[in-house]
Amino acid sequence: MTPSAPGLTGAESRSSASRASEPSTCSERSPKRVVERAAEAPPAEPSAEAPTSLQIILDAATGTAGKEFAWVEVVSPDLDPRILGSGGKTHVRDLLAGERLGHFLGFADERARRSDFRLGYENFRQWWEGTAWRPGFRIASNMVDLGVPLRDWRGWEEFGQFSLADIPWYRRFVWSIRLMWRYGREVRALMKGSRKRGPVPPSTG
């Protein structure tokens, strides 16, 4: 007798054993064959948690038998009160400094990176501690005694509000010249390359 895997019912265990002993071919994994095998399987022993025929078919087709559900949470600026309380007028791109300059402002100015780092930390606190718009995850996870401390942000005053307006005009002018020169080179190479074919690979015959 083949031992059953932990957490599987009799029908699932027999189905798993059948899959292990049969060759893995396209015909065996076809939807028609999956339904036929599910119909041929003997009924499972009565149980309060016995899977339905549809669940057995889905498990056989997708390989999800014995899998556990995972809890997934998303921490993003969408949790920020400035977005939740704006009635749709404020968006993530308005808070993330790295979104500016073609998503490259963070590479050009350290203050932009600091602004986004602090924004991420504060958004995490809002997700954990909760806001006026949603309860904190510390409540949902029953870890009410575990808090996320405030930090001393001296020197990191930018908090989701750093933008190109905070950069001196002469520095923006220098960036503009560099960008025009660089992208001008790329456009020239693109147009020049469109008139020239690559080398023919050597013959291997």
Which secondary structure element, helix H or strand E, spans residue 31, and what is its range? helix 31-40
Residue 71 within any structural domain of the chain:
no
Residues 56 and 88 in one domain: no
- Structural domain that includes position 44: 10-62
Domain end position, chosen among 20, 36, 62: 62
Residues 39 and 87 in one domain: no
The string of pLDDT tens digits covering residues 92-148 is: 888 888 888 888 888 888 888 888 888 888 888 888 888 777 788 888 778 878 888
Check residue 31 and give its pLDDT. Answer: 53
Residues 54 and 100 in one domain: no
Residue among 9, 103, 99 at smallest CA distance from 53: 9
DSSP bridge partners of 130: 135
Determine the 3-state secondary structure of 135 from DSSP.
strand
pLDDT of 43 > 70? The answer is no
Residue 191 within any structural domain of the chain:
no
What's this model's pTM, rounded to 2 decimal places? 0.53
Which secondary structure element, helix H or strand E, spans residue 123, and what is its range? helix 110-129
Task: Pull the structure tokens for residue 157.
Answer: 């005053």
Residue 4 within any structural domain of the chain:
no
